[in-house]
Amino acid sequence: MNARRIFFGVVLLVSLSSIGGWRHVLAGEKEWNKETQAETDVRMKWWRDARFGMFIHWGLYAVPAGTWNGQRVDGIGEWIMDRANIPVEDYEKLAGKFNPVKFDAAEWVRIAKDAGMKYMVITSKHHDGFCLFDSDATDYNVVDASPYGKDLLQSLAAECRKQGLKFCTYYSIMDWHHPAQYRGSDKRYNPTKVHPERKAEYLDFMKKQLKELLDTCDTEVLWFDGEWPAWWLEEDGREIYAYLRELKPALIVNNRIGKGRKGMEGLNKGDQDYVGDFGTPEQQIPATGLPGVDWESCMTMNRTWGYKSFDNDWKSSETLIRNIIDIASKGGNYLLNVGPTAEGLIPGPSVERLGEIGRWMKANGESVYATEASPFKRLVWGRCTTKACEDGATLYLHVFDWPADGQLLVPGLRNKPEQAYLLADDAKKALAVQASDQGVVVAVPAEAPDPICTVVVLKVKGPLKVEPTLPSQQADGTIKLRAADAICHGHQIRYEAGHQRDNVGFWLDPNDWVEWTFRITQPGKFTVSAETAATGSGSFELIVGDQTIGATAPTTGDYSRFTTLELGQIEIAQTGKACLAVKAVKEGWKPFNLKSITFKPAGAREK
Ligand code: FHN
């Protein structure tokens, strides 16, 4: 991490600690980690530069693959023991059927590598307690209890080293098989309880297994999970973290070793400084990233982590590629999951998508690896990542929505533009670029070379200078005012991020209100819509100048289940700054969450 990043890191952290309501303690001040910021930066460097890794959920649950006693079992595949309430002695029998004869470590690593992934995190032991490695701590492992009889992790670790990927291991604290823990109820294993007199025994068991993983696989990251049972405490996490860093000082450990996940996306919240080197938002991308800390968003490709034979709800390659970009533009890593079959094969649809991702990454990976977060709050056409360079900066402009007029505006950028070209263009054919009062404009080809995402490289002079800009209209005249760009007035109303939230919320007091200021370049009549979520119907007024529209937010049953509400028409006759206020109708007020307000030119065709 270069000096500039450290400098900005410090400035950012200090500023955030004063405004964020949560405190990110600088390295060196942490009770559980006395290394300096510079030492942390050295330790984290490969992980930060990597940006993209493979998550692998593999174990006995791949044998039933979502079906038990002829019935399809709801929920994620690796939870079948809990969801189908399978007695331990019945579940154990699956070990005798686990024989992944088609497992080919070299092929798995090649698939990950060709997809552009730089590390691999595999379940060494999931909640069911079965180990994919040879352990002296229990016979409930693939060597002693399965016909396969070989350590799966060591061969994968060796192949990763051979092909240049970092090998990392997931480890579940909650263990549905270990006798020190017992099921939470007669129906569910989750969350376990612990026999108080056997908790120390379990910690020793953990330490023994974790040391095995370090000794036999030299794992680079320990990715803990299953930390939520009440009996597992933050101080237990600190004990294990200290133990592991003593054994391997270069080791990286996620925040689920302690209780950090219960903070916002596992951030240090309030005065509590949770143990762990990075935050772990799951199945989501925090709307504004997690400024000031390292974080990794883990996600399935379909709807399950562990293999289910009938889960074919696959995300598109476009979605997956844009997720990589979105996450990198917010300064995070993307850990994308595969759930191999009991035979040892990565499912075909996963391999297909990883191949498509790899083709994009081969041409554009430079715009993801070792980059820093976007300096822009919002870009209507896509995302941005940056790299500092000798006497300036390189911006990677990831364009999802190609400008119809061929003019790509980088709003608020005040640096002198030096050079622009398409990243995928080996000839680096120069694109015309100029500074304007709105920012820097790049003249791009009429058609987007890559419909999923075309990357325009823009090199500028001097340290980045970006002025905040107002939300502005897209080329087709549409403008979407997002919650993150709103100004909230009042005591409780506020912008909510994370945990699938990206909205104005806590609108409990009808005297609170919210406004946006935005820029109009294409005046006219607009149809207006709002995205709202509510458990009761709250009436409100939308005010632009002397025009007011009244509406009522419908009940959606949940504050994170949004619906789009058509509000009517508003005319904005002037170009320049415009202001929109949304106020509660106090009589009979019922709170609702507001995600966005969209103005579409009246008469525009639905896309
Ligand atoms: O319960 C697990 C789940 O099975 C899966 O391993 C995910 C992946 O992060 N972690 C837990 C749920 O948060």
Length of the chain: 607
CB 448 within 8 A of CB 399: yes
Q: Whose CA is nearest to atom 4 of ligand 1?
A: 78
Residue among 282, 283, 300, 308 to mutate when testing ligand 1 (max atoms within 8 A of CB): 282
For residue 78, the CA-to-ligand 1 centroid distance in Å is 9
For the chain, domain boundaries: 31-367, 382-461, 479-601
Nearest CA to 87 out of 11, 186, 16 is that of 186
43 Cα to the center of ligand 1, angstroms? 26
The whole-number pLDDT of residue 271 equals 52
Which range has the worst mean pLDDT, 218-222, 355-359, 496-500?
A: 496-500
Q: Closest ligand 1 atom, CA of 280? A: 9
* Omega before residue 451 within 30° of 0, cis: no
Q: What's the gap in Å between 82 CA and the centre of ligand 1?
A: 13
Q: Which atom of ligand 1 is nearest to the CA of 298?
A: 9
To the nearest 10 degrees (0 to 180), the angle between helices 3-19 and 37-50 is: 100
Question: Who has greater pLDDT, 486 or 288?
Answer: 486
Specify the pTM.
0.84
Q: Does domain 31-367 have CATH number 1.10.10.10?
A: no
Residue whose CB lies within 8 A of the most ligand 1 atoms, among 54, 76, 130, for a mutation test: 76
For a mutational test of ligand 1's pocket, the pick from 60, 122, 225, i.e. the residue with the most ligand atoms closer than 8 A to its C-beta, is 225
Residue 17, pLDDT > 80, answer no
Q: Tell me how far the alpha carbon of residue 191 lies from the centroid of ligand 1, in angstroms.
A: 13
- Quote the pLDDT of residue 4: 36
Q: How many whole angstroms from 225 Cα to the centroid of ligand 1?
A: 7
Give strand ranges (E) for 29-128: 52-56, 67-68, 71-72, 119-125
Give residue 187's pLDDT: 80
Residue 237 is predicted with a pLDDT of 97
Give the ligand 1 atom nearest the CA of 126: 6
- For ligand 1, the distance from its centroid to the CA atom of residue 186, given in whole angstroms, is 22
**For residue 150, how far is its CA from the centre of ligand 1 (angstroms)?**
26
Dist CA 334 CA 111 (whole Å): 16
| pLDDT tens for each residue of 151-192 | 999 999 999 999 999 999 999 999 999 999 999 777 899 999
The chain-wide mean pLDDT, for the chain, equals 91
* Beta strand extents in 189-299 (DSSP E only): 193-194, 221-225, 252-253, 296-299
Which of these ranges, 5-9, 46-50, 348-352, 500-504, has the smallest mean pLDDT?
5-9
pLDDT of 260 reads: 86
Of 45-49, 467-471, 495-499, give the range with the top mean pLDDT: 45-49
Which of 305, 333, 500 is the pocket-test mutation for ligand 1 (most atoms within 8 Å of CB)?
305
% residues pLDDT > 70 (the chain): 92
d(C-alpha 84, C-alpha 187), whole Å: 9
Architecture field, domain 382-461:
Sandwich (2.60)
pLDDT computed for residue 272 by the predictor: 66
Query: pLDDT, tens digit, for every residue of 511-523?
Result: 999 999 999 999 9
Q: Are 54 and 335 in contact (CB under 8 A)?
A: yes
The pLDDT tens digits for 91-114 are 999 999 999 999 999 999 999 999
Q: How far is the CA of 250 from the centre of ligand 1 (A)?
A: 25
Which atom of ligand 1 has the smallest separation from the CA of 170? 6
Span 251-309, pLDDT tens digits? 999 999 999 886 544 454 455 688 999 999 999 888 778 888 899 999 999 999 999 99
* pLDDT at res. 491: 74
d(CA 95, CA 591): 52
| Geometric angle at alpha carbon 64, from 59 and 66, rounded to 5° | 100
Which position has the higher pLDDT, 419 or 28? Answer: 419
Query: What fold, for 479-601?
Result: Jelly Rolls (2.60.120)
Give the integer Cα–Cα distance in Å for 79 and 128: 8
Q: In 3D, which of 129, 137, 302 has the Cα closest to residue 215?
A: 137
What is the per-residue pLDDT for 152?
98
* Ligand 1 mean position, distance from CA 304 (Å): 10
Using a 6 Å CB cutoff, which residues line ligand 1?
76, 78-79, 225, 282, 298, 305
